[in-house]
Amino acid sequence: MFKKIIYNFAKFLAWVNLKLYFSKIEITGREKVPTGENPIILAVNHQAAFLDAVVAGTLSPLPVNFLTRSDVFKPATQWIFSAFNMIPIYRIRDGFASLSKNEAIFETCKQILLDQKQLLIFPEGNHAEEHFLRPITKGISRIALNSQLINSHDIMVVPVGINYFHHTRSGRKLSLFYGDPINVREFIPEDNKIGPRNLNDFRKAVMSGMKECLIIPEKENYEQTRFVFSRSNEKLSHSKIKGLVSEQSNFKQESRNGMAHLFSQLLKLPSLPVYLLYHWVEKNKVSQVAFISSIKLATGMFLFPVWMILSFLIAGLFFGWKVGGSLILVQVVSVLLRRWIVPYSYQAGDYVKDEIAAKT
């Protein structure tokens, strides 16, 4: 019961911070997620480390259980991760000896689906700050097909596409797209003997469904098409932006707006210690770009509230509670102003040819 309270509170806190982190969250097709007795597997692309789990889990219409890389599970974090419905999954980089532990994890997944609950899986198996879908592993096929053999309900796999308009900057749009559910039972052979061909056919079906959810599904021409994620295109719908990519429109890279950038830096001053700590962590502790947005969101969820409370108490005790309250107000206003101005730190420019823009 206490873990459920922790989960719901964390989900609410994450929802608030996602609303602050992104300028707009566009959700398409969420009604496709079955709400009856069908067990569900959400198959989600993986671009931004822990932020992907926060986005997909928080914005899901149903509570989910996460398959999460095992190396984040430490003795000090085991209980809290358990409260967040996180389940460790072991990879080759964790050592071949650890892979045998996945059999027990697969059994746990079967039980979750037997209980008509939801699983969230990142089938790519790793993350990278690229918008297209990378090859997915056979793990989702093993879990889905083997679980269906012992489940009287049809297991449905729902492809989900997370489309970030920038992988490291806040104040940009997020497009979350739910695809058509895939009925796992349709891939079970008549003799119930699952072979490599069945696993591969299912894997291909999931890959195809996930690509349909992404604005840029393929790696082809990526160095050009990735600039479709511009500020000027954020007003367009998911389908229209996807159409620009399929038409191979001409896109240009964003350029820095010096004045907006300077103003956004000045707005850091009321909460300068938090920003300095964040930049130190990013410079000294973050080894991959894919983690940057996750660290930023964590800063907003945890460090900013702590800093504001401390500022209020210290200013209130030494200078009066009105001063403390005024300081809090200044900090909140500066954060909101910065959230609004950061996207304008980079000029949109002419991203789409005139004739393409006219069509949309």
Of 223, 245, 267, which residue is a domain's last?
Answer: 245
> 238 and 191, same structural domain?
yes
Record the pTM.
0.86
Contact status, residue 51 vs residue 174, Cβ threshold 8 Å: no
| Mean pLDDT value of segment 7-17 | 86
Q: How many domains are there within the chain?
A: 2
Spatial separation of the C-alpha atoms in residues 171 and 168, rounded to whole Å: 10
What are the start-end ranges of the E strands in 179-234? 182-183
In this prediction, residue 72 carries a pLDDT of 56
Record the tokens describing residue 105, joined without a space.
């994890």
> 111 and 52, same structural domain?
yes
Contact status, residue 131 vs residue 241, Cβ threshold 8 Å: no
| Domain housing 125 | 2-245
pLDDT at 239 over 70: yes
Task: Write the CATH number for 178.
Answer: 3.40.1130.10
Contact status, residue 129 vs residue 48, Cβ threshold 8 Å: yes
> 241 and 259, same structural domain?
no
In this prediction, residue 135 carries a pLDDT of 94
> 35 and 169, same structural domain?
yes
- Segment (H or E) for 69: strand 65-69
CA distances from 296 to 44, 75, 171, 282 (A): 21, 25, 12, 9
Span 304-343, pLDDT tens digits: 999 999 999 999 999 999 999 999 999 999 998 988 888 7
Tell whether 204 is covered by a domain. yes
Contact status, residue 298 vs residue 281, Cβ threshold 8 Å: no
CA 73-75-79 angle, to 5 degrees, is 75
pLDDT at 198 over 50: yes
Tell whether 44 is covered by a domain. yes
> 142 and 36, same structural domain?
yes
Span 243-256, pLDDT tens digits: 888 886 667 766 66
Tell whether 282 is covered by a domain. yes
In this prediction, residue 209 carries a pLDDT of 97
Burial class of 196 by CB neighbour count within 10 A (0 to 12, 13 to 18, 19+): exposed
Tell whether 79 is covered by a domain. yes
Spatial separation of the C-alpha atoms in residues 178 and 161, rounded to whole Å: 7
pLDDT at 351 over 70: no
Tell whether 106 is covered by a domain. yes
| Mean pLDDT value of segment 142-165 | 95
Of 199, 226, 245, which residue is a domain's last?
Answer: 245
Of 212, 245, 278, which residue is a domain's last?
Answer: 245
Q: Are strands 173-178 and 24-28 parallel, antiparallel or unpaired?
A: parallel
Spatial separation of the C-alpha atoms in residues 298 and 250, rounded to whole Å: 36
Mean pLDDT estimate for the chain: 85
| Mean pLDDT value of segment 187-195 | 94
Share of the chain above pLDDT 90, in %: 51
> 264 and 241, same structural domain?
no
